Amino acid sequence: MALLTDRVAIVTGASKGIGRVMSQLFAGEGARVVCAARSDALVAETVALIRSAGGEAIAVVGDASVEGGARSIVDAGVKAFGRLDTLVNNAGDGGPTKAIQDYTTDDWFYTVNSCLTSAYMCSRFAVPAMIDAGRGAIVNIASMAGRRGLAYRVGYCSAKAGQIGMTYGLAVELGRHNITVNAIAPGAVAGDRIDRVIQSQAEVRGVDVERMRQSFVDRSPLRRMSTAEDIAALAAFLCSDHARNISGQCIPVTAGEPA
């Protein structure tokens, strides 16, 4: 049997990158997937890919960081599939790469709202539906930046650390409802986002881009970056019955780099 048979899963930030790969993998493992994002065209592409492979999915366009958007995402999933028992809080923007003295209040609130408030909002509205379903799994896609820090990314580091703290608190609170809550903390994940991070880090530090890229790889004993598929596979496991007694954990995916 597939890992996620009979699951209804919301994946936020499903328009591209890890969110798109995760939505496809979840559908391939038997879940009916609510693909949520702010981009109408891109999230529709994700759903089309899932359906062309024989999976079930719907697209919901909404901003997970605001109350109305988060509520509409959850309501759409319950309306379409009759229940909800899985939520992956993947939405979030890395925000700018700036020294703290140049980091504006708008930079701060945009980044924290995008990464942390969105996870809070979606969890807030998803939990009652999970309680009704008699089970649930929430996975927060955090970052190693929330555990060890990354220079010139104060908002992102703070937001991801907040996601990890929220994971711990909700795991204790929701265990009595048969709801597990875990976080995944990726290191460098190959793709467009890490390319942008490397470029901006090289610029602010005044070093060569390829030298900066190699520094990210050299941190790993396996001498490689992780992939979106690596993150998606762990998320699927954490949402399955195989992980029913794993809760309140933050699991690094770093290609061997010490956490």
> Which tens digit of pLDDT belongs to each residue from 156-170?
999 999 999 999 999
Pair 90, 13: CB distance under 8 Å = yes
Overall average pLDDT of the 4-31 stretch: 97
* pLDDT exceeds 90 at position 152: yes
Tell me the mean pLDDT in the region 4-29.
97
Query: What angle, rounded to 10 degrees, do the helices at 118-133 and 67-81 form?
Result: 30
Assigned domain for 210 exists? no
Amino acid symbol at 60? V
3-state secondary structure of 95: coil
In this prediction, residues 14-26 reach a mean pLDDT of 97
Under the banding of pLDDT at 50, 70 and 90, the label for residue 111 is very high
Please compute the mean of the pLDDT values over residues 176-192 and round it to a whole number.
96
pLDDT of residue 91: 97
Q: Are 92 and 121 in contact (CB under 8 A)?
A: no
Question: Is 205 exposed, middle or buried (CB count within 10 Å of its CB: 0-12, 13-18, 19+)?
Answer: middle
Distance between CA atoms of residues 154 and 115, nearest Å:
13
Going by pLDDT thresholds of 50, 70 and 90, the confidence category of residue 242 is: very high
Buried b (16+ CB within 10 A) or exposed e, 138-173: bbbbbbbbbbbebebbbbbbbbbbbbbebbbebbee
* pLDDT given for residue 162 in this prediction: 98
pLDDT digits (tens, 9 = 90+) for 56-106: 999 999 999 999 999 999 999 999 999 999 999 999 999 999 999 999 999
Residue 202 belongs to a domain: no
pLDDT bracket for residue 1 (50, 70, 90): confident
Question: For residue 188, which amino acid is it?
Answer: A
Rounded Cα distance between 87 and 33, Å, is: 10
Q: Give the orientation angle of helix 118-133 with respect to helix 154-174, to 10 degrees.
A: 20
Active-site annotation holder among 120, 152, 156, 168: 156
Please check the confidence at residue 222 and state whether its pLDDT lies above 90: yes
pLDDT at position 258: 85
Q: Which amino acid is at 17?
A: G
Residue 213 lies in a domain: no
Number of domains in the chain: 1
Asked whether residue 209 is assigned to any structural domain, the reply reads no
Assign 18 a pLDDT band (cuts: 50, 70, 90): very high
pTM, to two decimals: 0.96
Q: What is the mean pLDDT of the chain?
A: 96
Rounded CA gap, 42 and 64, in Å? 16
**Residue 246: domain span:** 8-187+226-252
Distances (CA, A) of 155 to 95, 132, 138: 7, 35, 23
Whether residue 151 is contained in a domain is answered as yes
Domain harbouring 38, CATH code: 3.40.50.720
- Residue 234 domain-assigned? yes
Tell me whether residue 152 is one of the annotated catalytic residues.
no
Q: State mean pLDDT over 175-187.
A: 98
Whether residue 259 has pLDDT greater than 80: no
Percentage of the chain modeled with pLDDT above 90? 96
- Domain membership flag for residue 239: yes
- Does residue 40 sit within a domain? yes
